[in-house]
């Protein structure tokens, strides 16, 4: 039952907040996402919207039918479960302004693939002695008993493929939202590589003592505000004259 959007990870940097603290941030391109399909209780047994993100260059006939009337054709599709889909229509565009600074979100992505990894890297096993006659440097050690149980238990942690799987990170703070650029900044790291596709969900939670970041936009607004004051003064002078 979470509203969300599809996005892409751009990279990381750091920003100052108004307390002067340096905040590490991940820059995400979020949306605009187009509603490609509505799923309703009556028809589908549950409520959800299917969102599309990105731009597709080549397309088969099945997708051409699915995207009929939507332009440009989205590349990535994802379904978001909602309590109700009333008020949302197919073809509607949802932008990053559904998020605001100071909000807590959940982000899912595909983690960076590590290839075949040993037990130390994959499961945080301890290393054996590197010297003193030990030859058990990075070996996994015992994987179970002998005659009893006479087999290795299912789910035994061993070496193998690591990463390249769905990872969901909770409690991520939105630091800044730029709707014009479809960019949002979140505090800390986000699963996956740069250019990786992520989905970002609303939680409805807010941070009470949030400090906004120092930004060029804020400075411009200030400058504009000052000009307004000057213009007002001018008006006053003219009125007097």
Partner 1 sequence: MLNKKVIDEIEKGQLKGEVPAFNVGDTVKVFSEIREGEKKRMQGFEGLVIKKQGGSNRSTFTVRRIVQGVGVERTFPLHSPKLGKINVIREGRVRRAKLYYLRDRIGAAANRVPEK
Binding-site ranges for partner 1 (CB under 8 A): 8, 10-11, 13-16, 18-20, 22, 27, 29, 181-183, 185, 213-217, 219
Going by the DSSP 8-state scheme, the letter that residue 209 receives in this structure is: T
Between CA 53 and CA 88 the distance in angstroms is 17
Between CA 223 and CA 129 the distance in angstroms is 64
DSSP 120-181: HHHH-PPP--SSTT---SS-----S-BTTB-SPPTT---SEEES-SEEEEEEEEEEEEETTT
Minimum distance from CB of 241 to partner 1 (Å)? 35
- Give the nearer residue to partner 1 in terms of CB position, either 169 or 215: 215
Which helix (H) or strand (E) covers residue 33, if one does? strand 33-39
Minimum distance from CB of 98 to partner 1 (Å)? 19
Picking from 68, 70, 79, 71, the residue whose alpha carbon sits closest to that of residue 5 is 79
Minimum distance from CB of 217 to partner 1 (Å)? 7
Tell me if residue 187 falls in helix, strand or coil: strand
Minimum distance from CB of 27 to partner 1 (Å)? 5
- Give the nearer residue to partner 1 in terms of CB position, either 112 or 183: 183
Q: 């909000």: which residue's tokens? A: 103
Minimum distance from CB of 126 to partner 1 (Å)? 36
- Give the nearer residue to partner 1 in terms of CB position, either 11 or 160: 11
Q: 């015992």: which residue's tokens? A: 142
- Give the nearer residue to partner 1 in terms of CB position, either 5 or 82: 5
- Give the nearer residue to partner 1 in terms of CB position, either 9 or 78: 9
- Give the nearer residue to partner 1 in terms of CB position, either 13 or 136: 13
HSE value, Cβ hemisphere, 13 Å, CA-based, for 80: 26
**What are the contacts of 130-139 at 24+ separation with CB within 8 A?**
none
Minimum distance from CB of 216 to partner 1 (Å)? 3
Minimum distance from CB of 15 to partner 1 (Å)? 6
- Give the nearer residue to partner 1 in terms of CB position, either 20 or 133: 20
Asked whether 212 and 176 are in contact (CB, 8 A), the reply is yes
């Amino acid at each position: 039952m979470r509203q969300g959007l599809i996005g892409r990870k751009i990279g990381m940097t750091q920003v100052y907040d108004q307390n002067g603290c340096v905040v590490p941030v991940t820059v995400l391109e979020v949306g605009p996402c187009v509603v490609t399909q509505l799923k309703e209780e009556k028809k589908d047994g549950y409520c959800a919207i299917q969102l599309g993100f990105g731009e597709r260059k080549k397309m088969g006939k099945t997708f051409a039918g699915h995207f009929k009337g939507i332009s440009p054709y989205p590349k990535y599709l994802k379904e978001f479960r909602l309590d109700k889909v009333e008020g949302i229509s197919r073809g509607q565009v949802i932008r990053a302004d559904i998020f605001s600074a100071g909000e807590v979100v959940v982000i899912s992505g595909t983690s960076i693939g590590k290839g075949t990894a040993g037990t130390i890297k994959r499961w945080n096993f301890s290393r054996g002695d590197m010297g003193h006659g030990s030859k058990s440097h990075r070996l996994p050690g015992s994987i179970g008993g002998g005659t009893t149980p006479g087999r290795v238990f299912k789910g035994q942690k061993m070496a193998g493929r690591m990463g390249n799987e769905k990872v969901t990170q909770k409690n991520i703070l939105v630091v800044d939202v730029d709707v014009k650029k479809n960019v949002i900044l979140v505090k800390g790291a986000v699963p996956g590589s740069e250019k990786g596709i992520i989905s970002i969900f609303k939680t409805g939670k807010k941070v009470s003592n949030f400090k906004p970041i120092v930004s060029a936009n804020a400075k411009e607004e200030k400058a504009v505000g000052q000009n307004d004051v000057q213009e007002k003064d001018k008006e006053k002078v003219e009125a007097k004259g």
